[in-house]
Amino acid sequence: MAAENQRLATPRPLTVKEVFDLVREDLEKVEKEFGRQTVSSINAITEIGQYLQVSGGKRLRPVLVLLASKLFGFEGDPAIRMGAAYEMIHSATLVHDDVIDKAETRRGQPSINSRWGNHMSVLAGDWLYMQAFSIALAERNFKILDLLIGLTQVMVEGELLQLAYIQKADLTEDDYFELTYRKTACLFSACLRTGALLADRPEEEENLLASYGINLGLAFQLIDDVLDFTSSEKKLGKPVGNDLREGKVTLPLIYLLQMCTSEDAQNVTRVLQDGGFKNVAFADVLEMAHRYGALDAARNKAKEFAEEAKRCLRIFPESIYKEALMSLPDFIIARES
């Protein structure tokens, strides 16, 4: 308690390590729960579950569930189990994404589909979804179950929307943010909302945490999209320029197309049409993105969402867990992978 009081008296933001230290013991329990829940009588399911568990990942979604629960003083196994459930949902979306994108790597390792094939991967992703629902159902909290049903519908719609948007150079900011909400931000929001539901908090507080999660998720995805241009394969665990190669039109690209000359726009559009950098080099597109300020504009937009996320927390009493949630947006903006 003395250590926590000392931290609260210190104005500086928490470090990444300090945030994760707050939930480290519970996060280890989430890992064990994930491992336990992905054991199946079908050997391939168990193997894929184990492979997903050891292949890394930030475990940010379980951290959000745990921090939101602790913000309200809620401790216990339900938060552990729901943290594992959301990590399963996240893992399922990654498996399905890699099948759709024909990805060869994920987090620097061979993707599930490249090891087990598309058919097995799709079914394993479906199984993970169903197992997450099984966990939620066992909690006998129908608000959480309703939340998961709505979340899954929105995320599947996001997958369909992304397929419809492939190679479309005329996408708008609104199109991008609708897709990003469905693909990423809604899951962040559900994790935060679950913490409030477990603690049986008033609807106003639940909605504020949900809004925090949406803004955090939008900022997270925006930085992801910037890093697809500026990072390295070693840091990302997958090739840079992958989004453009796959025909995905992200906000940096939307800004670039709005800012550049018609001649440069034709070159960018050609990459989308070619499905790769056969006639226009990635280095040329990257140079344009820097020259026109498209990457800076996207990063600045991410900062706006990060600040809005922090504003959503203003009404909550000061605590070490509020401080942790206030620090997360800054980590997301500063991350390099």
Mean pLDDT of the chain: 92
Domain ranges of the chain: 2-332
Model confidence over 259-301: pLDDT tens digits?
999 999 999 999 999 988 999 999 999 999 999 999 999 999 9
Residues 230-258 have a mean pLDDT of 88
- List beta partners, residue 109: 106
Of 255, 276, 259, the residue nearest 101 (C-alpha): 276
Residue 7: per-residue pLDDT = 46
Signed CA dihedral, 71, 148, 251, 99: sign only: positive
Model confidence over 122-155: pLDDT tens digits?
999 999 999 999 999 998 899 999 999 999 999 9
9 pLDDT band (50/70/90 cuts)? very low
Residues 248-261 have a mean pLDDT of 97
Using DSSP's 3-state secondary structure scheme, residue 305 falls into helix
- List beta partners, residue 105: 110
Residue 233: per-residue pLDDT = 74
CATH no. of 2-332: 1.10.600.10
pLDDT at residue 1 is higher than 50 = no
Query: What is d(CA 277, CA 270) in angstroms, rounded to the nearest whole number?
Result: 9
Task: Specify the DSSP element, H or E, that contains 167.
Answer: none
Residues 18-23 have a mean pLDDT of 95
Between 282-291 and 203-230, two packed helices, what is the crossing angle to 10 degrees? 120
Could you tell me if 188 and 61 are in contact, meaning their C-beta atoms sit under 8 angstroms apart?
yes
Residue 160: per-residue pLDDT = 95
Q: What are the structure tokens assigned to 58, written together?
A: 């930030």
Residue 57: per-residue pLDDT = 77
More confident residue, 185 or 58: 185
Query: What is d(CA 254, CA 298) in angstroms, rounded to the nearest whole number?
Result: 9
Residues 41-60 have a mean pLDDT of 88
Residue 337: per-residue pLDDT = 73
Query: What is d(CA 331, CA 15) in angstroms, rounded to the nearest whole number?
Result: 8
8 pLDDT band (50/70/90 cuts)? very low
Q: What are the structure tokens assigned to 272, written together?
A: 């989308």
pLDDT at residue 234 is higher than 90 = no
Q: What are the structure tokens assigned to 62, written together?
A: 């379980």
Model confidence over 307-324: pLDDT tens digits?
999 999 999 999 999 999
108 pLDDT band (50/70/90 cuts)? confident
Residue 240: per-residue pLDDT = 83
Residue 46 makes CB contacts below 8 A (sequence gap 6+) with 38, 39, 40
Query: What is d(CA 127, CA 285) in angstroms, rounded to the nearest whole number?
Result: 40
Place of tokens 């507080």: 205
Query: What is d(CA 146, CA 141) in angstroms, rounded to the nearest whole number?
Result: 9
Of 109, 138, 113, 140, the residue nearest 125 (C-alpha): 113
Residue 268 makes CB contacts below 8 A (sequence gap 6+) with 169, 253, 256, 257, 260, 280, 285, 288
2 pLDDT band (50/70/90 cuts)? very low
Least confident of 44-48, 80-84, 254-258: 44-48
Max distance between CA atoms of the chain, in angstroms, equals: 63
Residue 105: per-residue pLDDT = 86
Q: Is 13 exposed, middle or buried (CB count within 10 Å of its CB: 0-12, 13-18, 19+)?
A: middle
Model confidence over 70-99: pLDDT tens digits?
999 999 999 999 999 999 999 999 999 999
pLDDT at residue 107 is higher than 90 = no
Instruction: Write out the DSSP string of 169-212.
Output: TT--HHHHHHHHIIIIIHHHHHHHHHHHHHTT--HHHHHHHHHH
